[in-house]
Chain A
Amino acid sequence: MSQGRPQPVPQQPDLLTVDSLRVSFGRAIDEKPVVRSISFSLRPGRCLAIVGESGSGKSVTARALIGLAGRYANVHARQLSFDGTNLMGLSDRAWRGIRGNEIGFVLQDALVSLDPLRRIGKEIGEGLLLHGAVSSREELAQRVIALLKLVGVPDPETKAKQLPHQLSGGQRQRALIASALALDPRILIADEPTTALDVTAQAHVLSLLEETKTRGKALILISHDLAVVSRVADEILVMREGEVVERGNAGQILKDPEHPYTKQLLDAVPSGRPRGSRLSPSTIVRSPARQTQPEVQSPPKSRPILLEATSLVKRFKGPDGTLRTAVDGVSFELRSGETLGIVGESGSGKSTMARMVLALEEPDEGAVQFAGRPWTALAERERRARRRSLSMIYQDPLGSFDPRWTVGRIISDSLSSDVEIRRKRQERVIELIDLVGLSQALLDRRPLELSGGQRQRVAIARAIAPNPAVIVCDEPVSALDVSIQAQVLDLLGDLKEHVGVSYLFISHDLSVVRQISDRVIVMRRGRIVDSGATEEIFRNPESEYTKSLIAAMPRLVRDHQIGHSATILEEGIA
């Protein structure tokens, strides 16, 4: 995509120098250090990636660089300077002259990082007005359109007049980047710029960042995902719990990481690895030893069909009164002991389909059969008794828990009612929490006191509690950091063998689906465009759409030429 572009001149002076940056929150006694000591320097045309999981202090570091660490933050540094200007103890007024003007900042998740009540054009033009960069309304409008063009938003004249929610996720993110680039700042800081985007949108945003670097801007890229970073970064800084565990040349770190934590992060990236291989180092299922590689290779066709969907159609009435077909004639079957992955970008109809399978939404046409008997055609009263055999795991477990309930109560609540005796119930809850690899001490905690990974484990324990035959997983790992994601995927894989359950696994993330599924369905605009055995689909995709999705997958680029550009885009399929 961007090969053969000019090399950055190595002798250029540092634009940004950070020496022993420390950030803590709170006062004296209960002061909580968040960033312990971080040092780096940045030259024009170079990209530094700060990688770490949530809570590692990477976002706080980024915000400290523009003096926005927050009211309660204490920022100290031996040196923090931009182009010779000392940034420590700068007045608010002086800071405002630098923010936006010299250092552009892109926050994560454009849906909430752009003012939802203001039109895109106004938001992008705001920086230009603040720093007095335009003299007339016409000039402002022209500059805004030019910026939208620069970041590759189609039909910029129309988009400038629209509100953030009217743009697609990728367009929104690009508009947000445009607003940060408005004054042509010399440094661009991007905090998780591709998280929550579909693969194709992700690829676009990464190319845009690469181009920005090519234009001689210095880039600081913050992410939890090494695969995303590997394409653009020249230098990588790995953070954990506020400390830098490893730093160095991108090529070297990706190829030959020294610190075990970096290795762990690299291993957690699911892309390009054989299906079924473990992603996380720890063994999760502790109780009854699982059979070593059982791989019950009975021919898949001979296994009984659990779920069968025939020609499902669902239409919705849009806010403007028009009918929109969300699912358009989808058929599939899920056999016992199988994992069926359903991939699609947002708006492909995959979640609507999941809701129909769970009989939460009635299909307009077609039907779902469950275990050989009618399912969606039944009245809810007749369905209720069998609902327990069909569980669900959501993307955001927090929203699916009653925040006042303890973990123990949450799990116990979904146990089937035939475990009547209280003591036995308690035993089963302990067994379940063990099974998902959580400590029993957590049983008395409430959801808000748990980490994201722990919450998803509790959600899994709740899903397997009633001994279901099928679990529908709707984006179960997309809200998690890569390393946590890896653990949860491994856990799901282990449980499949251990408790004998089948999964309908829905995700927008191809690498995740590839990792866990036996068969894959690719959906686009409510229709199935590709389906088949997982490896078959990934090696030999039939439709152009699947090909483009696979090509857009972020994958680790380990073959960095040392000291060179970090942007060798792998072509084709791994």
Chain B
Amino acid sequence: MMGSDAVKIVAHHPIVWFTRRIFSGVVVVWAAATFAFLIQCVLPGDRAQIIINATSGNVGLASSAELAAINAKYGFDQPLAIQYGKYILRILHGDLGESYQQHRPVAGIIAEQIGPTIILAVTALLLAWIIAILTTLFIAGRDNMWAKLLNDTQVFFATAPPYWLATILLVVFAVKLRIFPVIGGSSPAGLILPTLALALELSGFFGQVVQNEFTRVLEQPFVASARARGMSDFGVRLRHVLRHAALPGITLSGWALGKLLSGAILIEVVFARQGLGGVLVAATSSRDVPIVSGAVLISAGLFVLVSLIVDLTYRLVDPRIKLT
């Protein structure tokens, strides 16, 4: 009995849980790397030819001598297993390859550009949460004119495409009212419109999810219990209901951040912002495969990190969850 108790305690120790999560995260990233490698191999067209075209900017066919030189340089003439082994080894050393077009390490290019994209996505996520919670706190379970109006606004934002919203925001606030700069650069003022464009859609979506749950929880007996203790309506909403209502939203946050990262790429193009968006669009259209697969790897790593954060947050909010 004592032995099994010890095992039990060890299995639930946060460090054990954390190690297990890190390990499974590594597996996810490895799977993504393998996938990226296989995609390179099965892509139509000869890889050496693609590299020559990307490097020179010409579309003509290269001579067999040129192709052989490239094949030897990138090791395409070796068996797949060896290519794969070398590829994984390189990744372990932090080397994501070299851009065909820019002749620079991919890791460096991504590192330069990813900062603004992450800042944009994370601020948008936080803003979406703040808007969703504030509106829900005031409108859930009430049926006055304001509640109806705000609810309809939420639905409108949830269904409006962000790039369209971005354009509208740009025209109204930057071109007509001239409150914010048209081209943001990386100044804080320039961050506001792109963040809004991304966050509004998500805030509508979160708002609807949270509000749905909020209305349900408001009718729960434990809420009536709190009222019977003399708690005010706002106190009940803030201290009892919100925590329950936020749970499904927290679960969705991991997914939302992925959506925001891809949304950010479009928004960056609309606002001509610096970031991963421009680089990726250019790399995809010129078949600069190392950049694209590098981005795949990085986003896989980001996802692992985000889901870890989501799980930790969930545990903070819902103490019934055990770390398993």
B237 to chain A, nearest CB (A): 13
**A99 vs B222: C-alpha distance in the bound complex, in angstroms?**
15
How many angstroms from the CA of A107 to the CA of B322 in the assembled complex? 29
Q: Which residue from chain B places its CB closest to the CB of A63 in the assembled complex?
A: B224
Tell me whether A130 and B320 are in contact in the complex, defined as CB-CB below 8 angstroms, given that A321-B8, A321-B11 are known contacts: no
Interface core residue of A92, A119, A130 (most chain B CB under 10 Å): A130
Given contacts A99-B228, A99-B230, A100-B229, contact A107 B221 (CB under 8 A): yes
Query: Quick one: given A116-B320, A322-B4, are A68 and B230 in contact (CB under 8 Å)?
Result: no
Beta-carbon contact of B231 and A96 below 8 Å: yes
- Whether B320 pairs with A68 at a CB distance below 8 angstroms is no
In residues 220-240 of chain B, which contact A (Cβ within 8 Å)? 220-222, 224-233, 235, 240
How close is A506's CB to chain B, nearest CB, in angstroms? 27
Give the residue name and chain of the B residue nearest to A98 (CB).
B230
Answer whether A180 and B232 are a contact pair too, CB < 8 Å, given A113-B222, A114-B222, A320-B12: no
Task: Name the A residues within 8 Å of B244 (CB-CB).
Answer: 117
**Sample (27) of A-B pairs whose CB atoms are under 8 Å apart:** A66-B228, A68-B227, A92-B232, A97-B230, A98-B230, A99-B230, A100-B230, A107-B225, A107-B228, A108-B221, A109-B221, A112-B220, A113-B222, A114-B222, A115-B222, A117-B320, A118-B240, A130-B230, A130-B231, A163-B320, A179-B229, A319-B322, A319-B324, A320-B12, A320-B322, A321-B8, A321-B11
Known: A100-B229, A126-B226. A117 touches B317 (CB 8 A): yes
CA A114 to CA B8, docked complex, whole Å: 29
Closest A residue to B141 using CB positions: A71
CB distance from B253 to the nearest CB of A (A): 18
By beta carbon, the residue of chain A nearest B247 is A117
Asked if B231 and A126 sit within 8 Å, CB to CB, the answer is yes
CB-CB nearest in chain B for A93? B232
In the complex, the answer to whether A105 meets B221 with C-beta atoms within 8 Å is no
Report if A539 contacts B (CB, 8 A): no
Q: How far is the CA of A314 from the CA of B225 in the complex (A)?
A: 39
In the complex, the answer to whether B8 meets A116 with C-beta atoms within 8 Å is no
Is A165 a contact of B320 with CB atoms below 8 Å? yes
Question: What chain B residues lie within 8 Å of A99 (beta carbons)?
Answer: 227-230
B269-324 CB contacts (< 8 Å) to partner A: 317-320, 322, 324
Contact B225 A114 (CB under 8 A): yes
Across the interface, name the chain A residue whose C-beta is closest to B9: A320
- B230 partner, pick from A108, A131, A320, beta carbons under 8 A: A131
Q: Across the interface, which residues of B come within 8 angstroms of A176, CB to CB?
A: 225
Residues of B in contact with A (beta carbons under 8 Å apart): 4-5, 7-8, 11-12, 220-222, 224-233, 235, 240, 243-244, 317-320, 322, 324
Residues of B near A92 (CB, < 8 A) are 232-233
A positions within 8 Å CB-CB of B: 63, 66, 68, 92, 96-101, 104-105, 107-109, 112-119, 126-127, 130-131, 163, 165, 176, 179-180, 182, 319-322
Residues B225 and A179 in contact, CB atoms below 8 Å apart: yes
On whether the beta carbons of A127 and B229 are closer than 8 Å, the reply is: yes
Check A96/B232 contact, CB under 8 A, given A117-B243, A321-B8, A322-B8. yes
How close is B256's CB to chain A, nearest CB, in angstroms?
A: 22
Min C-beta distance of A56 to chain B, whole Å:
19
List 10 tightest A-B contacts by C-beta distance, closest first: A105-B228, A100-B230, A100-B229, A127-B229, A99-B230, A113-B221, A115-B222, A96-B230, A112-B221, A113-B225
Instruction: Report A-chain residues with C-beta under 8 Å of the C-beta of B243.
Output: 117
- In the assembled complex, how far is the CB of residue B57 from the closest CB belonging to chain A, in whole angstroms? 60
Residues of B within 8 A of A114 (CB): 222, 225
Q: A96-B230, A100-B229, A319-B322 are in contact. List 13 more A-B contacts (CB 8 A).
A: A66-B228, A99-B229, A107-B225, A109-B221, A112-B220, A115-B226, A115-B240, A116-B320, A117-B317, A117-B319, A126-B231, A320-B322, A321-B7
B7 to A, closest residue via Cβ: A321
Inter-subunit contact B228/A68 (CB<8 Å): yes
Given the known inter-chain contacts A112-B221, A113-B222, A320-B12, please indicate yes or no for A100 contacting B228, CB distance below 8 A.
yes
Give the docked Cα–Cα distance between A114 and B225 (Å): 7
Q: Within the complex, what minimum Cβ distance (angstroms) separates B58 from chain A? A: 64
Distance A150 CA – B225 CA, assembled complex (angstroms): 20
Q: In the bound complex, what is the Cα–Cα distance between A112 and B223 (angstroms)?
A: 9
Bound Cα distance A80, B220 (Å): 27
A182, B226: Cα distance in complex, Å: 13
Report the minimum CB–CB distance from B34 to chain A (whole Å): 32
Using CB atoms, name the residue of chain B closest to A119: B319
Task: Report the bound CA distance from A402 to B297 in whole Å.
Answer: 46
Please give, as numbers and ranges, the residues of chain B lying within 8 Å of A126 by CB-CB distance. 226, 229, 231
In the assembled complex, the CB of A185 is this many whole angstroms from the nearest CB of chain B, namely: 10
Cβ-defined contact, B320 with A320, below 8 A: no
Distance, CA A130 to CA B320, complexed state (A): 25
Q: Which of B222, B230, B232, B235 contacts A112 (CB 8 A)?
A: B222
Which A residues are in CB contact (< 8 Å) with B224?
A: 63, 68, 107, 113
Q: Which residue of A lies closest to B318 (CB)?
A: A117
Give the complex CA separation of A212 and B319 in angstroms.
33
* A163 vs B317: C-alpha distance when bound (angstroms): 13
Measured between beta carbons, the chain A residues less than 8 angstroms from B235 are 130
Across the interface, do A127 and B230 meet the contact criterion of CB distance under 8 Å?
A: yes
With contacts A112-B220, A113-B221 taken as known, whether A320 is within 8 angstroms of B228 at the C-beta atoms is: no
CA distance A11 to B37 in the complex (A): 91
